[in-house]
Structure 1
Amino acid sequence: MSEYDSLQRFLFEDLGIRGELVRLDASWRSVQERHPYPPKVAEQLGQALAATLLLSATIKFQGSLILQAQSGGPIQTLVAQATHSRGLRGLARWQGEVAGQSLAELFGEGRLVLTIQNEGNEPYQGIVPLEGANLAAALQSYFALSEQLPTRLWLAADGQRATGLFIQELPAQRRSQEDWDRIAYLADTVTEAELLKLPRQELLYRLFNEERVRVFESEPVAFRCGCSRERIEGLLAHLAQDAIESIAHERGLIEVDCEFCNRHYSFDPIDVSLMYSPQIKPPSSTTRQ
């Protein structure tokens, strides 16, 4: 399986501890191609995407997991989404110059929202303060408060790759504190350069060569945006018909841009009328530029 754009699971079979390693290459560059992010913003968005893939692999669901950071600081919004099929997308909004290293410097006061949208179920949402030395530390606080499972993350991103390492004690399989402390200590020796540069198997061997580790088949990851003309029509159709028709006739077009992939959708007055017709549905068509 490819070394690139993949999620790798592994298991310490004798210890009741699971791990994951994610590498985003072309998929991460595809996200950056949609918007020209400043380096500090891109670094945080890349780390958020890696984290979202890692967290999505810990649950069984059909839908998406969304990680959102909201603040009043330089980076105002950070959104990363991963689906059960390992598709990802993300975006960020910022204002002014973005500098510094800590969450306080980059975001200011804010919160971290984790939403699981599972088909056929009500969305689950967890919220924690956006606090700690970095995004990994804030997510570890989420697990400590909501999941109550020992969890550690290491995240890194540059212009070419976003990556992350994750370890967690398995539910109902708690072993000795000494085992967990040892694995966490070994993982904590990883450097940002190693996360970004070392081949996957070499990295795992470097960290855990004295442990019994079972490595599973890796899973491919890709950039995918869930927008479509049909979905936009559905959203517009749920709004007040009089208001939408009035805007369409006044402006000649209703225009909608997808912030995730920069696709542009246009709807003229006839398109709008067909949206609200119970007998006639507009035919599927490609995106109008």
Structure 2
Amino acid sequence: MTTDTSKDILQKFIFDNAAVRGELVEISNAWREIQSRHDYPKAVRALLGEMVAAAALLSANLKFDGSIVMQIHGDGPVKLLVVDCDANLHLRATAKLRDGAMVADDASVTDLLNAGGKGRFVITLDPRDKVPGQQPYQGVVPLVGDNIATIIENYMLRSEQMDTRLWLAADDQVARGLLLQKLPRNSAIEGQVKQATEEEDLETWNRAVMLGQTLKQPELLTTDVATLLKRLFWEETIRVFDPLHPEFHCSCSREKVGNMLKMLGKEEVDSALHDLGELGINCDFCGKHYGFDAVDCAQLFASDTTADAVAPASDVKH
């Protein structure tokens, strides 16, 4: 297997003859692109980077053309973390801090997100093409865990009834992660001819988790995917698939911003125009600016065309 080391990489693999799968991801180019739009405190940057790695790992197994939107709503200094990743591993992410928030470099997840115990974790599965019978699904759970990996593991077990283990790490250069999942018995697993017994599946799962637990954050931050795969599972019989390549991509557009303004209603938009003269909307994911003057807004509401859209997180500015 040869890989393009200039690209970010997600490597999927399965344990031969067992209902256990794994993934390793390394995101550097896309992660630096995300950070280039913002200046986050060190602790916030690490949290968001771990979510970026986790979103890519989960999105790699989407069974529809759409995206996973992962959100953490906090009641501490960080009020919102959002990562959006689609089935093609197009990533974007943003974080919102409370006004005047002071964040220590060594702040914990509890310090940042769940100081009052009311934080929540939300995953939305959003199909790109809305077809009859296929609606967005949203799962919401309390923030349970002292790190991003544990929070997501608890979500997967509670909402998806799937044993999942994650190891995540991020700094200002790279976001990496390892995912292991114990699949339901008799799952159709690509590339497998037969499956092990239930006892053998459990033995393989426990052994894989034990090997994963030997992986510490410093090693995860400094070791490439191919080396990690070899180091962790060199004694296991695994099947490796062609690598995938995550990349930064923002899906914001003038049309989507216009639809967001239409959702606000003509009265509210006219009031804002009266106060500001022009509406300036900046995408929180990529920073692109969209300006709407009185003529632009009149044309929006003069049109009978309405379209469903996921609008970018945004700020309205003069």
Normalising by structure 2, we get a TM-score of: 0.83
Report the Cα distance in structure 1 between the residues aligned to 2:268 and 2:19, rounded to whole angstroms.
Answer: 57
Report the Cα distance in structure 2 between the residues aligned to 1:43 and 1:249, rounded to whole angstroms.
Answer: 41
In structure 1, the partner of 2:297 is: 272
Offset at 1:246? 4.4
In structure 1, the partner of 2:198 is: 175
Offset at 1:33? 0.8
Give the root-mean-square deviation of aligned CA atoms.
Answer: 2.1
In structure 2, the partner of 1:283 is: none
Secondary structure of the residue that 2:122 maps to in structure 1? strand
User: Which one of the candidate residues 4, 7, 15 is aligned to 2:10?
Assistant: 7
In structure 2, the partner of 1:232 is: 257
1:246 and 1:139, CA in 2 relative to 1: closer, same or farther beyond 3 A?
closer
Q: In structure 1, give the amino acid aligned to 2:157.
A: A
1:159 and 1:99, CA in 2 relative to 1: closer, same or farther beyond 3 A?
closer
Do the aligned partners of 1:249 and 1:269 also contact (CA within 8 Å) in 2?
Answer: no
Q: In structure 2, give the amino acid aligned to 1:167.
A: L
Deviations 1:33-66 (A, max 9, x none): 1110011000000000110111112221212101
Q: In structure 2, give the amino acid aligned to 1:141.
A: N
Report the Cα distance in structure 2 between the residues aligned to 1:243 and 1:202, rounded to whole angstroms.
Answer: 56
In structure 1, the partner of 2:309 is: none
Do the aligned partners of 1:103 and 1:131 also contact (CA within 8 Å) in 2?
Answer: no
Offset at 1:91? 0.9
In structure 2, the partner of 1:111 is: 120
User: Is 2:34 the partner of 1:31?
Assistant: yes
User: Is 2:183 the partner of 1:189?
Assistant: no
Q: In structure 1, give the amino acid aligned to 2:217.
A: E
In structure 1, the partner of 2:266 is: 241
Offset at 1:250? 4.8
User: Which one of the candidate residues 55, 59, 70 is aligned to 1:56?
Assistant: 59
Unaligned runs of at least 5 residues, structure 2: 187-196, 306-317
In structure 1, the partner of 2:103 is: 97
Q: Identity, % of aligned pairs?
A: 39
1:200 and 1:101, CA in 2 relative to 1: closer, same or farther beyond 3 A?
same
User: Is 2:80 the partner of 1:67?
Assistant: no
In structure 2, the partner of 1:213 is: 238
Offset at 1:279? 8.1
1:141-156 map, 5 Å:
141-156=154-169
Deviations 1:2-49 (A, max 9, x none): 234121111112221111111111100011111100110000000001
Offset at 1:165? 0.4
1:279 and 1:190, CA in 2 relative to 1: closer, same or farther beyond 3 A?
closer
Do the aligned partners of 1:65 and 1:117 also contact (CA within 8 Å) in 2?
Answer: yes
Greater CA deviation, 102-111 or 139-148? Answer: 102-111
Offset at 1:169? 1.2
Report the Cα distance in structure 2 between the residues aligned to 1:146 and 1:20, rounded to whole angstroms.
Answer: 21
In structure 2, the partner of 1:22 is: 25
Do the aligned partners of 2:156 and 2:163 also contact (CA within 8 Å) in 1?
Answer: yes
Aligned residues between the structures? 282
Deviations 1:202-247 (A, max 9, x none): 1111101111111111111111111111111122123322432343
In structure 2, the partner of 1:262 is: 287
Q: In structure 2, give the amino acid aligned to 1:172.
A: R
Unaligned runs of at least 5 residues, structure 1: 281-288
Q: In structure 2, give the amino acid aligned to 1:42.
A: R
Report the Cα distance in structure 2 between the residues aligned to 1:224 and 1:97, rounded to whole angstroms.
Answer: 28
Report the Cα distance in structure 1 between the residues aligned to 2:79 and 2:303, rounded to whole angstroms.
Answer: 41
In structure 1, the partner of 2:310 is: none
Report the Cα distance in structure 2 between the residues aligned to 1:252 and 1:107, rounded to whole angstroms.
Answer: 37
Normalising by structure 1, we get a TM-score of: 0.91
Report the Cα distance in structure 2 between the residues aligned to 1:75 and 1:219, rounded to whole angstroms.
Answer: 32
In structure 2, the partner of 1:286 is: none
Do the aligned partners of 1:64 and 1:82 also contact (CA within 8 Å) in 2?
Answer: yes
Do the aligned partners of 1:247 and 1:254 also contact (CA within 8 Å) in 2?
Answer: yes
Q: In structure 1, give the amino acid aligned to 2:32.
A: R
Do the aligned partners of 1:65 and 1:82 also contact (CA within 8 Å) in 2?
Answer: yes
Greater CA deviation, 199-208 or 28-37? Answer: 199-208
Offset at 1:77? 1.2
User: Is 2:142 the partner of 1:166?
Assistant: no
